[in-house]
Amino acid sequence: MQPSRFVSTLRLIPVFVLFLTAATWTLVYSASSAVLQPQEIDAPLQKQAEQIKNEGIKLAQSGQLPTALEKFTEALELYRRAHDPKGEAKQTYNIGLVYSNMGQPQNALKYLNQALPLLRKLGDSDYEANTLVNIALIHQEQGDKDLALQFYLQALTSLQNVADRSKEAQILMGVGSLYEATGNFQQALVYLNRALPLWQGLADREKEVVTLEYIALINHTLGDYQQARDFFERSLVLWKALGNRERQAPVLKALAGVQDNLGQYREALALHNQELSLRQELGDRAGQAGALEDLGLFYARLKDRPKSDEYFRLALQLWREERNPGNEANMLLHLGDNAYNEEQYQSALAYYNQALALWQQAKGQAGEARILNKLGSLNDSLGDRQKAALYFKQAKAIWHLLGNQFEEAYTIRKLALIAIEAGDRQQTTDYLNQTIALSQQISNPTFKAYLLALIGLAYSSMEDHRKALEVYQQAHDLHVKINDRSGEALALSNIGFAYEGLGEHEKALDYYRQSLKIYEQLRQFASIEEIKTGVAAQSAETYQRAVLLFSRLGQPSEAFHYTEAARARSFLDQIAVPQFDIRKKADAELLRQEQALAQELRLLDSQHRALLAKGGFSEKNPAADKLGGQIYVKQKEYEALLTRIRLTNNSSEYASLIMIEPLRLAEVQKLLDGATTLLSYYVTPQKTLAFVITRDSFNALELPVSEKTLRAQIAAFRTFDKPDFKSPAPNSRPAGLKELYTALVAPLKQHLKTPVVGIIPNGILHYLPFAALSDESLYFGDEHALFYLPSVSTLPFIQQKRKSDSNRALVMAQSKAVNLPPLLNADQEARSIARLYNTQPLTGAAATESAFRAQSGDYSILHLAAHGQLNSANPLFSRILLGADKQADGSLEVREIYDLALAKTNLVVLSACVTQLGAQSPGDDIIGLNRAFIYAGTPSVVASLWSVDDEATAYLMTAFYTSLRQGMSKAAALQAAQRKTRQRFQHPYYWSAFVLTGDPGTPQLLKRESKKTR
């Protein structure tokens, strides 16, 4: 387990000179030959020594070290016999270097230590420094950092009388690197900051920029993210000036991580995308995989699993192609984590086992230990404590062997939690004491704060809330010190949780409010919708804690307000402002890339359809599957490109999109008429809250049904086999609907007295057709005309989109789609509806995407009968399949619907499969067809929750429009249509899939009467 906000760091090669290169031999040769010889030196012997030494240098430069060593040894003996102390000293030095290059450190040290006093006696400070540095390097390579440091510092002293700023700077870098390696980061910064102006004075830009990066990395380790950002930005500017694109990429990576730690999510995402684009341009496949992994981790932190999974899969494919089992295992580990976090334990187990096999094959101990930790957590979640403890103990032994204090402490903490579950308080205390002792040895503040939070959670599990509070406060102080706003918000929430455990409820609420205030600030700074959605997901647990505590304290109106603040906030921000074209003032080059990629996607989709048509809709088609994979990758590229366009958009209009405050209860009640009740649900792991709101009443109830139970019951209902509508069973109500009615509706029934009820679902309830809930005598949809809202706070904006009634309807039916069975009843459905509106439907070849685009803005009602396709991996590409022509490919996608102008539209009906659903975030935002149409201008959308039956749908739609033409409201017309359809198709599969989202409408007769009274 790693801290969720840890930044991938640059891998820097120390820039101090190793003095073990061919250039060193030349240096020795030049220096020695330039020395004036004293009179007592035996000149012939000295000349012979020089000749043999030069032969040795040539041999050394060509890599023939053993032969060179023989020559140097022979030359050394001649220097001694010639009484040449300088020759003897420097030849002794050369022999030491050769031994070092031959991998014989002890022999190297023997000769370098012999050379050192000789050079000192001669007063040759330059070579004395060289010798000291090489001795230091050997000790450093042997792991004796303290001894290496002593020799580096002596080398600096030797250089005081030598005006060699380059060598001084290199040694300062060496000293700084050693202090950094020993954990003395402040001293490391002292020496690195001394080296920096020397490189600047020497105009050595490359060494300057590497020094900047080193300083940035140490500041990051110290948690000084603002300083780290400053130094990384300076290094990026220099690499650009030097034209070194390869070195820009890792700096972009590190800078993205720093911005992430500072809560600057918009900037972090922009940098991640810049890095990915640069790696792609450079053809750096390993770098691309790393950038994709970072994006996967970024979205995992924002709790956007679909995006996170897809980036990890793209990286996984690259690592497989590169034959890198270790990194392949890491991607499988990430995918397993995402599955585990959503309690998909069997899927997580499969990923972990694949990763474990790869690490064992690669003999990677750290990777193996990480997987053992994951398997321990998984088995603990499955209730097998004994097996979990065994895995954790194996992992702990490896981490201890590797000296990884953070991971060892994390693992011991997991063992403490198992001891808590087993009720063994003494063992728990022992484990926690070990964890705390290890945490005190960890210098990285991000790691330490994260670990302290985990220790606090362990104390909370023991109900030792005082201890938990103490540890949470320490974590909070660290987050504040390093300016980690997201971490600070989490710490404040945890402090609130501890106070709640202590029974100090007002203090708990105060900390929850402080935490949520920071999250809201982060969401505002995020600026673009997908990051806002992610921040909302991060804050979901804190909102949940606050809501449950308000409810427990008997403050239901506050509880309701916080549920509104927790849900669908990005969609609320979207519909609250006028439509805005993100391309209006975007970067021209990015727009060109977008157009080219869109064209490429259209071409690939056309080719894909052709392959599917050739194979037939029921046959396997490997070629089509392969091309489908390519399309998937291109769709991800397109989504990333749109994100870049939003991130780099220069328009002040777009950059300053306002954040809408959720409505208070009194504001909501003013919006309601006497015929409408709002029923707002809020699902938590323990229970479900329900808020019943009318114009003049408000009731809040706690329903004793957990999220897990609801998930199981709804899943059971939605996996029913399609029944035979021609011979239905006497009681064709699926199992589970009564239980769901009993849990979600029956306790509220006394408060539901109006004919119209608006449902505000939450979480798993988005998948539930409330009209089909039944007490075995009546369906809920019979008792009330139902409609849905993304949140109560969207109501005023949806009401503003209402238009005056118009009989103009654009009715389209496209019965054919490649690789899908024909919709035999779609054309007849369109003709029946068109007759009701005295218009001609567009069917077959006339029902094209371009016809819809051209005409949709002029009609009050838009009806589309066609195949629908949900793309949960790339939700912007969920689509309605219309006809293709020269202008458009026939695929009307979510991304395109956002750009429609439906100012005259009052109702959109999507008579197709799974058009109500989309990719859902923990913050309850959904990217899908229905919300895209509402954003585009319509106040109401009728769409489906599952793949619907062709014949039953045609029947229901004709009944719906018949009732609508008779003057019923939209909600009442759908209610009547469902009731009529049930007479022929009894099972809820056939009639309850379609739901109305948005404005329920007002009966036309009532509207005419109201006009008369004015």
Contacts of 167 (CB under 8 A, 6+ apart): 17, 126, 129, 130, 159
Q: How far is CA 428 from CA 381, 394, 414, in A?
A: 18, 18, 10
Give the integer Cα–Cα distance in Å for 421 and 751. Answer: 42
Are 698 and 692 a contacting pair, CB within 8 Å?
yes
CB-based contacts of 476: which residues, under 8 Å, 6+ apart? 488, 491, 492, 494, 495
Closest-CA residue to 975 (of 998, 950, 992, 954):
992
Is residue 837 a contact partner of residue 885, using CB atoms and an 8 Å limit? no
Distance CA 628, CA 634 (A): 10
Amino acid at site 483: N
Distance CA(908)–CA(944), nearest Å, equals 12
pLDDT score, position 13: 30
* DSSP string for residues in 225-248: HHHHHHHHHHHHHHHHHHT-HHHH
Give pLDDT, residue 162.
Answer: 67
Q: Beta-carbon neighbour count of residue 850 at 10 Å?
A: 16
The confidence score (pLDDT) of residue 22 equals 28
Please report the pLDDT score of residue 117 as a whole number: 87
Q: Give me the residue label for tokens 């040449």.
A: 84
Q: What is the pLDDT of residue 729?
A: 52
Beta carbons within 8 Å of 597's beta carbon, 6+ residues apart: 634, 637, 638, 641
pLDDT score for 849: 85
Helix residue ranges per DSSP H, 82-204: 85-101, 105-122, 125-141, 145-158, 165-181, 185-201
Give residue 764's pLDDT: 85
Going 161 to 162 to 163 to 169, the CA torsion angle's sign is negative
Q: How many residues does the chain have?
A: 1014
Nearest to 365 by CA among 312, 403, 315, 316: 403
Strands 842-843 and 785-788: unpaired
Q: What is the pLDDT of residue 660?
A: 61
* The predicted structure's pLDDT at residue 741: 92
* pLDDT score recorded for residue 533: 54
Matching residue, tokens 């023991």: 462
Any idea what DSSP says for residue 845? G
Q: What is the pLDDT of residue 907?
A: 92
3-state secondary structure 26-39: HHHHHHHHCCCCCC
DSSP bridge pairs for 700: 691
Question: From the first residue on, what is the mean pLDDT of each consecutive set of 10 residues in the chain (1014 residues)?
Answer: 34 30 34 46 86 88 87 89 87 88 88 86 80 85 80 78 78 83 80 87 88 89 84 90 91 90 80 90 92 90 82 92 90 93 89 91 87 91 90 91 87 86 84 85 81 87 90 90 83 93 94 86 59 61 90 92 75 53 64 74 71 58 69 68 61 46 86 93 91 94 91 78 49 74 93 94 88 88 92 83 81 80 83 91 89 90 85 71 82 80 88 62 59 83 85 91 92 94 88 90 49 27
> CA-based diameter of the chain, in Å?
129
Condensed to tens digits (0 to 9), the pLDDT of residues 550-587 reads 999 999 999 998 888 877 555 555 554 555 555 566 66
Tell me the C-alpha distance between 274 and 233, whole Å.
Answer: 14
Q: How many CB atoms lie within 10 A of CB 441?
A: 12
Q: In this structure, are residues 905 and 859 in contact, taking their beta carbons and an 8 Å threshold?
A: yes
- pLDDT at residue 1010, rounded to an integer: 31
Indicate the Cα dihedral angle 844, 847, 848, 851, nearest 10°: 150
Q: Residue 926: helix, strand or coil by DSSP?
A: strand
- Partner residues linked to 998 by β-bridges: 940
| pLDDT at residue number 453 | 86
845, HSE (Cβ side, Cα atoms, 13 Å): 1
What is the predicted pLDDT for the residue at 33? 37
- 172 closest CA partner among 198, 188, 195, 154: 195
Residue 122 is predicted with a pLDDT of 83
Rounded Cα–Cα distance for residues 134 and 726 (Å): 90
Q: Say what the pTM is.
A: 0.67
The Cα–Cα gap between 608 and 179 comes to 59
On whether the CB atoms of residues 446 and 261 are closer than 8 A, the answer is yes
Sign of CA dihedral 877, 880, 881, 883: negative
Q: Are 501 and 465 in contact (CB under 8 A)?
A: yes
Q: Are strands 926-928 and 698-703 parallel, antiparallel or unpaired?
A: unpaired
